[in-house]
Chains A and B, each alone.
Chain A
Amino acid sequence: MSQRNGHLPAGAIILTLDLLEEATTSYVALPEVSRKLGQDVRVKVRAIRKVDYFAMVPAGPPGSEVWGREMPPEERIQRTREWLDTLSPADRAERQRQITAVTYQVLAIGLVEPAVTAETARRFADDADIIALEILRLSGLIPDEVVEAPTEAVPAPA
């Protein structure tokens, strides 16, 4: 801390960008690829910017703005599914395409090794959701305890 702001506590260290990068980097095991290859396969991921994520995701279902912050995630998922059921097959397919695209876009910016584009990220098939979830967790976009991949983007509580 500068002279104006006082002194550092004894024995404390100042964090560096490298240390913080290390803290927000993780290795994710890929069950599908590992099973196919018969060995443990992992990829290296990092946190992404929230602003990038919000620029990718489609807006929530109409009316989701009045669901309230206290609504449990399970109910949000249920209501989102009910809304999806009201869409025409074409609109539903388009919505699903938008959601799937978000997964691959998340991989494109959050996957460190191997680096991928949104297009090449599709090669991860079912493992893509697992990788995306870990990236979102590292970024503070979903809580640590969420382990199951949603099939539809659920509007986050305010």
Chain B
Amino acid sequence: MEYLPLPWLSRRLDRPIYAAIKPFLDDGQRPGIVPASGAGLLLTRWPSARFMAQMPAAVPGGPCYDTDLDARGRRDTNAAWEGWVDVFLSHVLSRPILRPEQVRVLGPDRDRLALGLLRAWCWVPEEDGTFARLPSAAFQDALRLLGAKTRRLPSELLSLPFPAFILDFRILMNKQRAEPPEGVLSPEMIEA
């Protein structure tokens, strides 16, 4: 388990506050924070791949946000992003349970928590500042590749816990990089 410190809430409630996050991979090797006795916790759960595929296209501050949007576009992008963050945190907080309109009770730590969760679950923006999402080409490619290799339907893949979906996808990508295409032998193999 990983514990993300929430400093603003800690100051306001006069006790250390953390979000408990089950990470993408937990090998038990990383030294982590151990909450002191009396600490306050928010508990989180994994979202499904389907849920994560519904995020807005652009993240405020991403390169595409900086270059492609005028002032009005930025305002609208900010609104779309903030709306999604409320829905996201409402979806992944298991205790206490918050409705999207109640997520405001996290105060300034709301953003820290949302980004901390996205990082812990390896959901990173593309180089242009967008996220791979449905129906983007990047996400369609991931679904197609995973479906072909694991012989599972897209609907089944999208029902996976999000970290499992990402793990499957990354294993597949690493395997593809490691294995040469069929019929092509490396120089070492030819010599042997």
On A, residues with C-beta under 8 Å from B are 1-2, 5-6, 8-17, 19-24, 46-51, 54-55, 57-65, 68-69, 138-140, 144, 155-156, 158
Partner of A65, one of B38, B71, B85, B108: B71
By a CB distance below 8 angstroms, the chain B residues around A14 are 40-43, 95-96
A64 touches B71 (CB 8 A): yes
Interface residues of B in 42-99 (CB under 8 A from A): 42-43, 45, 60-61, 65-66, 69-75, 78-79, 82-83, 85-86, 94-98
In the complex where A16-B96, A59-B74, A139-B107 touch, is A158 in contact with B65 (Cβ < 8 A)?
A: yes
Please list the 5 inter-chain residue pairs (A to B) with the smallest Cβ-Cβ separation, ordered nearest first.
A11-B37, A140-B108, A20-B105, A54-B79, A50-B82
In the complex where A1-B43, A14-B95, A62-B71 touch, is A140 in contact with B107 (Cβ < 8 A)?
A: yes
Q: How far is the CA of A82 from the CA of B38 in the complex (A)?
A: 52
* Cβ-closest chain A residue relative to B68: A65
In the complex where A6-B22, A59-B71, A62-B70 touch, is A1 in contact with B1 (Cβ < 8 A)?
A: yes
B35 touches A24 (CB 8 A): no
A57 touches B34 (CB 8 A): no
Best-buried of B45, B75, B86 by chain A (most CB within 10 Å): B75
B9 touches A54 (CB 8 A): no
Min distance, Cβ B143 to any Cβ of chain A, angstroms: 26
Min distance, Cβ A55 to any Cβ of chain B, angstroms: 6
CB pairs A–B below 8 angstroms (9 shown): A11-B37, A12-B41, A13-B38, A14-B43, A50-B104, A51-B82, A57-B75, A65-B66, A65-B70
Interface size on B, as a range, is 35 or more
Partner of A47, one of B34, B35, B105: B105
A24 touches B104 (CB 8 A): yes
Q: How far is the CA of A137 from the CA of B65 in the complex (A)?
A: 25
Q: How far is the CA of A22 from the CA of B106 in the complex (A)?
A: 10
By a CB distance below 8 angstroms, the chain B residues around A156 are 78
B25 at the interface (CB under 8 A from A): no
A140 touches B13 (CB 8 A): no
A20 touches B60 (CB 8 A): no
B96 touches A17 (CB 8 A): yes
B71 touches A61 (CB 8 A): yes
Best-buried of A9, A63, A138 by chain B (most CB within 10 Å): A9
